Amino acid sequence: MVLTTIGSPLEFEERPDPVPGAGQIRVRVEACGVCRTDLHVVDGELPDPKLPLVPGHEIVGIVEALGEGVDAPALGTRVGVPWLGHTDGTCPYCRSGRENLCDAPEFTGYTRDGGYATHVIADAGFAFPLDGFDDPVATAPLMCAGLIGLRSLRRAGDGGRVGLYGFGAAAHILAQVLRWQGREVFAFTRAGDDRSQQMALSLGAAWAGASEDMPPSQLDAAIIFAPVGALVPLALKAVRKGGRVVCGGIHMSDIPQFPYELLWEEREILSVANLTREDGREFLKVAREAGVKTTTTTYPLAHANEALDDLRNGRFQGAAVLVP
Ligand SMILES: [Zn+2]
Ligand SMILES: [Zn+2]
């Protein structure tokens, strides 16, 4: 499913199977999650995507061909292909353990073709082995919503009371990790979104309410997954002195002006960009130990436009997953 023009629907296209170059693998896609970032790409909210482009960066599949010089992952094994597709390995960020901030990165489904397809090419060193993850559909949302969620959580610190603004794919995974870690979850959704609030409570949230509501007790940290800048001052209001507000998305509407007193008393606002491979390995370990279970709605690959539309309009709970 190919994006040829920003703002237009994806088009179904038949192509020959891609051939992996040196250091690359070809993966037969079993499932690909639909991430909010894909919406930002097709809507033109992120600059300079490769065009034409196959979107999708929550890919689970089977290694089907190895390029020159690749000896792992092995043929026939299941791997995950995430957003971070390639780094230069030489810039100051890569050399200081922050490859998520690489100066010359490539991103799956943005600057290179992704997983809204039957096959995808990936750099062998950037695919995660998925031994023990037997359900490709259930695993696909972990590849971005999960591991960027965990990176957001690390930025939030280890306080016991964590607010999650926007209870979609990332929050429904992170809530399970937080409960497993023994922390309290406070879920904030659009006013009147009873289904998302119910889902949060069913996953062990201590409280669920509207984003404009104040939680019953002050939060140690808040993570904002909804791409809505107006949530930043609301979240600042809900965190205690010295608390943190983490913006977990790649794009957000403008943050409105707010009084300095909301930030004062050493409250902090942070953002999260991309992932490191270390994040991925750590998250997959946590997901397995915590027994994270995803809620998914599947769509046939050719219905990718419908899945994007349903995400845009909040028509499902949890995560959408495309199946070729
Ligand atoms: Zn770099
Ligand atoms: Zn994503």
Proportion of the chain above pLDDT 90, given as a percent: 98
In DSSP terms, 185 is beta-bridged to 162
Question: In angstroms, what is the span from residue 223 Cα to ligand 1's centroid?
Answer: 27
Residue pLDDT, tens place only, 23-77: 999 999 999 999 999 999 999 999 999 999 999 999 999 999 999 999 999 999 9
Q: What is the pLDDT of residue 213?
A: 97
Q: What is the pLDDT of residue 221?
A: 98
Contact 62, 15 (CB under 8 A): no
Question: In angstroms, what is the span from residue 151 Cα to ligand 1's centroid?
Answer: 18
Question: In angstroms, what is the span from residue 297 Cα to ligand 1's centroid?
Answer: 36
Question: In angstroms, what is the span from residue 24 Cα to ligand 1's centroid?
Answer: 18
d(CA 189, CA 271): 20
Question: In angstroms, what is the span from residue 324 Cα to ligand 2's centroid?
Answer: 19
Question: In angstroms, what is the span from residue 113 Cα to ligand 1's centroid?
Answer: 20
Question: In angstroms, what is the span from residue 266 Cα to ligand 2's centroid?
Answer: 30
Question: In angstroms, what is the span from residue 259 Cα to ligand 2's centroid?
Answer: 32
Using DSSP's 3-state secondary structure scheme, residue 143 falls into helix
Ligand nearest to the CA of 39: 2
d(CA 2, CA 56): 10
Residue pLDDT, tens place only, 103-152: 999 999 999 999 999 999 999 999 999 999 999 999 999 999 998 899 99
Q: What is the pLDDT of residue 317?
A: 87
Place of tokens 């909301």: 262
Residue pLDDT, tens place only, 239-260: 999 999 999 999 999 999 999 9
Q: What is the pLDDT of residue 176?
A: 97
Question: In angstroms, what is the span from residue 57 Cα to ligand 2's centroid?
Answer: 6
Question: In angstroms, what is the span from residue 97 Cα to ligand 1's centroid?
Answer: 10
d(CA 203, CA 122): 34
What is the reported pTM? 0.94
Question: In angstroms, what is the span from residue 274 Cα to ligand 2's centroid?
Answer: 9
Question: In angstroms, what is the span from residue 16 Cα to ligand 2's centroid?
Answer: 26
Whether omega before 73 lies within 30 degrees of 0, making that bond cis, reads: yes
Backbone conformation region of residue 115, classed left if phi is above 0, alpha if psi is from -120 to 50, else beta: alpha
The answer on pLDDT for 275 being more than 90 is yes
d(CA 23, CA 199): 42
Q: What is the pLDDT of residue 310?
A: 96
d(CA 80, CA 22): 19
Q: Confidence band (pLDDT; 50, 70, 90) for 311?
A: very high
Q: What is the pLDDT of residue 248?
A: 95
Residue pLDDT, tens place only, 197-242: 999 999 999 999 999 999 999 999 999 999 999 999 999 999 999 9
Q: What is the pLDDT of residue 144?
A: 93
Ligand nearest to the CA of 96: 1
